[in-house]
Structure 1
Amino acid sequence: MTDRAETVVVIAKQPRPGRVKTRLQSRFSAAEAAELAAAALRDTLAAVRASRAHRRVLAWDGDPAGWDDGFEVVRQPSGDLGRRLAAAFRAARTDDDAPVLLVGMDTPQLTSALLDRRWNGADAVLGLSEDGGFWAIGLRSADPDAVFDGVPMSTDRTGAAQLARLASLGLSVELLPPLRDVDEPADAEYVAERYPQLAFSRRHAAIVGGRDRLPADRLFDELYAGGPVSSAPSAGRPESFLAGLARWIGPADSVDAMVVSRCEPPVIDIGCGPGRMVDALQRSGRAVLGIDISRTAVALAARRGGQILRRDLSTELPGEGRWGTVLLLDGNIGIGGDLPALLRRCRQLVGPGGLIICEVDPDPELAERVELVLAGAGGRSVPVPWARTGIRSLQQVSADLDLMTAEEWRAGGRAFVSLRAAT
């Protein structure tokens, strides 16, 4: 019986801006995050090529040109991560049930020695990651559907849940050394400092070298603390990003009350800032949760007694698929600079027939994408992808996502659109 992986599978997707490493975009632009993803993938593929595996498989999403040298390419199916992992194992399995090891593209520090480790007769191997997930999983003959079906993915308990599933199937498990996934800017810095020989580390150094750019949330912290923060497109004249600050940090006004009256609970307020809408919704008797990336904003909102989490929209959120209303106010329709992607994400949050209430630009024809740079006393931010959208652009995009315009209204110089998800 072969006691090391004879087939190594890398499950990955084409590193395109806005589609990979979105959590890195609190410090890096979408293009820079994609460059880091590409470098991490190159390091991973190099480690696999240097391993003793007889067969190398790339389970790929996107165009594999330029990435498939030395690899057999299989396409990832649609569906959740568990379904795609199971499909990758089925595609890689041989008749003799030789060990198959699968890794992702998030651990550029991976080595051929880790890939070639002996399984010590185990039925499966599992490499846990420091964020609670896992960076590698290997199987001999277990049914991959039984291994992955129903295991919650992309949480801080995924690794533990996956280990428990393997045990429940009666499989003996050999644990591989833990590794740190590169998901957040701090992860990227950690790996780059400790493994300077990597292509990933060289790209990271090239991007951050010679600049003193801060994560965007640091500038928002400064803003909500009363600091003088301005903004500009990455190649443009500074503009007042603070025009709405007095409204953001103050109590809800009569225009906000009109929004509150249209909300169907429970409500999730995206980019809630210091929590004026969370406070107003709670006072109205509606169940509400606010999320924001700024520590200062979350602290200010919590002082008001609001239910607030410091979260990024790209991470898993409580109650996905069960919210009655998603709020995108105060310019938050621009988050990420990609309106279709933002609306798709909000569509995932609401339940059937749920509402997405958006504040849009008063110019109905406006549709532009910029990269903002925030500047404060503490320095300048990395470019932040942002969109400015009027109602016409919003309606064109929402129609393709089974979102119907339920209502549009103007008040106090502000413009709003309510979209209802199809049932």
Structure 2
Amino acid sequence: MTLSLHFLLILLSFAVFVYRYQKCSLSFFSNYNFYILFFAIFYISLPSVVSLLTGHSWVDGKPATIDYTSSIGLYFVFIFFTGYLISPDRLNLASEVAWFRSKYFDCLVVIFFVLASLYVLTVIIFNLDAFLSVYGRRGLQSDLNEYLYMRYKIKPIFIAVVVFVSYFVLKSKRLYCLFVFSPFVLYDIMLSSRGYIYATAVVVFLLLTFHSRKVNPLYLAFSMLAIASIAVWRALGSEFNWALLFQVFYEFIFTWSTTHIIHESNIEKDFIEAAAYGLLRFFPSFAYELFFDKYVSYNQIVVDNNPLGWGLAGSVVAEALSFKSGLVTFAFPFLVLFYSFTINVFLRSKTYTGFIVFIVAVIYVRDIFRYSFLEIAMYPLYVVFFVGFLIPLLDVFNRASKFER
């Protein structure tokens, strides 16, 4: 029964996607609930179907565990599907925003992201020997990535570039500025990684949409599968094997396996503590570290009980199950929906802040499904209000100027 309902929800979801896209292709992608349901299909329904069909758990979960987690996954996807049905698509175009006019500010923005691009190229050049020496050796690449992150702070710079390039392209329609992401994509390729590649694809996709450029929805699906297939690239090395192409789907199957680990674990996480930690993630790191210096993520349960030789990330369903509470499990998808509707409200405010919060939130929806909702949800707001604090200030200035007129 659970298997049939998963199949039914997948078919109904894509039928609704097609109908809404044909109805208005430009407003179709301006609904955050679409991304929630889309990723839920890949990270919840798809692996649930595989588990139910094969009866196999990569982490040696019991048959009862496979059935139970698949049922909970079905409940989550059903709630997300319902939320998408009641959430209308609305046209949101960059041309509807009264953009702040200042050549000096625009020049500073351009100078910033050009310097950031040159900075990343410099990091690559000065560490080229290290990149080449670990190429094709995933474990060493991961260690090098961690070292470079700690020393050169590549990720914070990338996030700042996303904020200000999005602002500039939304305002000016100068799409050639997107080439500023090229060094970050090269950085990812040399480390056989995918984080910056995925984020760049999302930014390009949304900026085209917000400028009335019709984008085929298959772009999103194929891009997601292509990024997932980097796992294949890691495994193939120099020897090609068609069988390994099935690893494209392992991204979804392995992350779902964390629900089996969490369900069979006796460790119970504190929901109030996790929620408080998540809310404080809106502020810079020193703020939540002041109260949660020794906070331990639910994912540590996965790390401690993982029988495989590689990391499994996590799952939004596994996070809900980690609290060992029927009430929390019941309410959890509604919390995600509330967050989703809030992100839609930001976008429909037709402000600098609204557009950029939406873009950053779509970048991080993948992390919500493959890691944690509570620990990730507030991060897009932190990015815009602290890293890109000038953007909300421009909104305040614009509102004040309109009031004076």
Same fold (TM over 0.5): no
* TM range, smaller chain: under 0.3
Higher Rg of the two aligned structures: 1
Structure with bigger RCO (C-alpha 8 Å, 6+ apart): 2
Structure in which a larger fraction of residues adopt strand: 1
Q: TM-score, normalised by structure 1?
A: 0.22
- TM-score of the aligned structures, taking structure 2 as reference length: 0.23
